[in-house]
Structure 1
Amino acid sequence: MTPRPVAVLVGPPASGKSTVMRHLARHLGVEGRDTDSDVEAVAGVSVATIFAEQGEPAFRELERDAVAAALTGHPGVLSLGGGAVLDPDTRDRLAAYAAAGGVVVFLDVSRAHAARRLRGDTSRPLLAGDAMTRWDTLMTARRPLYEAVATLRLTTDAAGPRRVVEEIARHIERARYDAAPGTEEDA
């Protein structure tokens, strides 16, 4: 059987994907993996450098490949870059993963909380300049895609990582139970 993630985290910048990924992986005793880190490892440079030197299309191609590889080879918690859901192939892969019982968590965050978390952050190339105006534009385009691929949506505004991790862990257990042989009602 091909290894697959225990859970996949999607959501906008400042939703807490990286933090939740680390805490959830530790909680479940598995490895955490971030596809942005995978892209950087393949490219040998930072995401910001890829954007600056090669442009967003080059980054998205590397990202699509990183997500495809991780969805079929990573048995832990997987965190996707905020724009990964823009790619139709990635959305199809996430839909297939979810249809097979996988857990895709949309970590949502309000504009107000995102603004607090992004204050002073210059590491995100798509949010350069007026970060919140750009964040609003990203969310308008991406929210329907996050919602479409998710099997669970959690708002991270006031919830600390521990509370979010506990809710995801409960959802994973329910998904495992539902997928176990003999747990479905006979028709």
Structure 2
Amino acid sequence: MTAAAGGPPAVVLVGPPGAGKSTVGRELAGHLGVTYRDTDADIEALAGKPIAEIFFDEGEPHFRDLERAAVRDALAGHDGVLSLGGGAVMDDGTRALLTGLPVIFLDVSLHDAVRRVGLDAPRPLLAVNPRQRWRELMERRRPLYTEVARVVVSTDDRTPQAVAAAVLDALQLKDA
């Protein structure tokens, strides 16, 4: 299956840090014969610096403004697999834009998130007491991830290939 040019994304991935959005997104894109796009990478390219530096230099509100614009642009102009930053769902307008789209919430436990990326990675919202902050973020975000998602797929103890296969099955998509 290949998405129509200029159409909405074939798959949109949401979830917390460490869920595997980037890895699974690339795997899915390969299976579907479409391109992969990550809004965090879009923001970094536009700003010319890593997200952590945007947070520290301009603050979270500025980053969230960039994120809203990046998500809006990607949803309108990308017909492949799209990964959103972990906090993108916090915005009411972004959640509204996701309505009716094939959104997958890649869920992960704190244990697996730590094992995959560690919580000492340059993630500004997890800089102080990362395990506690991750739990707090998930407490606020989990209801929003599930609100926008058509399907929830756990990534715990699964390979990226197994997660991609579960997503394809859930959305009834076929390999290209």
- The answer, yes or no, to whether TM exceeds 0.5 is yes
CA RMSD of aligned residues (A): 1.6
Match of 2:136 in 1: 137
The structure 2 residue matched to 1:23, chosen from 27, 44, 67, is 27
Q: Percent identity?
A: 53
2:68 is aligned, of 40, 64, 70, to 64
* Higher-Rg member (1/2): 1
2:161 corresponds in structure 1 to 162
Aligned AA (2:17): P
Distance (Å, rounded) in 2 between the aligned partners of 1:127 and 1:60: 16
Task: Name stretches of at least 5 consecutive residues in structure 1 with no aligned partner.
Answer: 175-187
Maintained 8 Å contact 1:9/1:21: yes
Amino acid at match of 2:66: L
Instruction: Say which SS state the counterpart of residue 172 (structure 2) adopts.
Output: helix
Question: 1:35: which partner in 2?
Answer: 39
- Matched ranges for 1:9-158 at <5 A: 9-95=13-99, 98=100, 102-119=101-118, 121-158=120-157
Q: Counterparts of 2:33 and 2:124 in 1: how far apart (Å)?
A: 32
Name structure 2 gaps, 5 residues minimum: none
Measured in 2, the distance between the counterparts of 1:120 and 1:71 equals 29
Q: Give the match's secondary structure for 1:129.
A: coil
SS of equivalent to 2:13: strand
CA displacement at 1:2 relative to structure 2: 4.0
Deviates more, 1:113-122 or 1:44-53: 113-122
Deviates more, 1:165-174 or 1:137-146: 165-174
In the aligned structure 1, how far is the partner of 2:119 from the partner of 2:51? 18
Letter in 2 for 1:34: D
Stretch deviating more after TM superposition (41-50 or 137-146): 41-50
What secondary structure is seen at the aligned counterpart in 2 of 1:18? helix
Deviations 1:15-55 (A, max 9, x none): 11111111111111111000001111111111011001000
Matched-pair contact (CA < 8 Å) for 1:6–1:172: no
Say if 2:151 is the partner of 1:171: no
8 Å contact kept, 2:12–2:104: yes
